[in-house]
């Protein structure tokens, strides 16, 4: 049933929660620091090169972008956080909107959190994890760009991140992922299928 992801098509962009579609059906959101590889991951999972815009300038995704899979299911691309060269008040507004979305969106079934394997668990990642814990929302972490490290080094980071989450009482699942090598795509499908009730 993974072909459903290849049917992804853009619906709308929302600057605030009131512009989102009706709060029904199933949504899975993708979030991550600017430049962590979120757009590339979305394009790889949907097998659609231009679905999410990949930018050389971090922080270009400043809106909540929604993609339709079928009549009930949507993918949600949340604004990147971190490096973006935008005014502080804009960043604060994004953060507030993200927090509200994660905590109040009833149809949200889970969060895919994108982290560059070379820079995992930064402060804003912990913020996202805390919002998700507070909202009782399942989180699955993709340690992206895993091809940039040797296999043993990548496994060590995976173990370190898992241990850190456990120490902090965060029950997120996680995996290695590489868009360029298509590493870990089937594992993501398993998570998404469960959340979408496929």
> Domains, the chain, ranges and CATH?
2-195 (3.40.50.300)
pLDDT at 76: 96
Find, among 64, 176, 58, the residue nearest to 117 by Cα: 176
Give the CB-side neighbour count of residue 76, counting CA atoms within 13 A. 29
* Whole-structure pTM value: 0.92
pLDDT at 100: 86
| Residues sharing a CB contact under 8 Å with residue 87, sequence separation 6 or more, in sequence order | none
Q: Are 54 and 38 in contact (CB under 8 A)?
A: no
Place of tokens 């496929």: 198
Kindly state the tokens that stand for 10.
């853009």
Tens digits of pLDDT across the chain (198 residues): 589 999 999 999 988 899 999 999 999 999 998 889 999 999 999 998 888 775 555 555 578 899 999 999 999 999 887 655 666 777 777 778 888 888 899 999 999 999 999 999 999 899 889 989 988 999 999 999 999 999 999 999 999 999 999 999 999 999 999 999 999 999 999 999 999 999
- 3-state SS, 4-44, equals HHHHCEEEEEECCHHHCCCCCCEEEEEEEECCCCHHHHHHH
> CB 114: neighbour CB atoms within 10 A?
26
pLDDT at 51: 85
Please name the residue ranges forming H helices in the chain: 38-46, 88-104, 123-134, 151-167, 185-195
Q: How far is it, in rounded angstroms, from Cα 142 to Cα 41?
A: 9
Q: How far is it, in rounded angstroms, from Cα 91 to Cα 129?
A: 18
pLDDT at 2: 83
pLDDT at 92: 76
Q: How far is it, in rounded angstroms, from Cα 114 to Cα 120?
A: 9
pLDDT at 54: 57
pLDDT at 61: 54
Q: Side by side, which strands form the sheet with 64-68? A: 9-14, 64-68, 73-77, 26-32, 108-116, 139-144, 173-176
């Amino acid at each position: 049933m993974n072909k459903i992801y290849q049917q992804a098509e853009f619906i709308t962009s929302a600057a605030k929660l009131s512009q989102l579609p009706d709060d029904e059906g199933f949504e899975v959101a993708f979030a991550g620091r600017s430049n962590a590889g979120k757009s590339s991951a979305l394009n790889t999972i949907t097998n659609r090169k231009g679905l999410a815009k990949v930018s050389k300038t971090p922080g270009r995704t400043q809106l909540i972008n929604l993609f339709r899979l079928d009549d009930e299911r949507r993918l949600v691309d949340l604004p990147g956080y971190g490096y973006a060269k935008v005014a502080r008040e804009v960043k604060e507004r994004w953060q507030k909107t993200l927090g509200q979305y994660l905590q109040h969106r009833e149809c949200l079934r889970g969060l895919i959190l994108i982290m560059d394997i070379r820079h995992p668990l930064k402060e804003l990642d912990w913020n996202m994890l805390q919002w998700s814990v507070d909202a009782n929302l399942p989180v699955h972490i993709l340690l992206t760009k895993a091809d940039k490290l040797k296999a043993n080094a990548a496994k060590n980071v995976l173990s370190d991140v898992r241990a850190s989450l456990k120490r902090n009482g965060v029950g997120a699942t996680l995996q290695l992922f590489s868009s360029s090598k298509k590493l870990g795509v089937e594992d993501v499908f398993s998570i998404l299928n469960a959340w979408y009730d496929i």
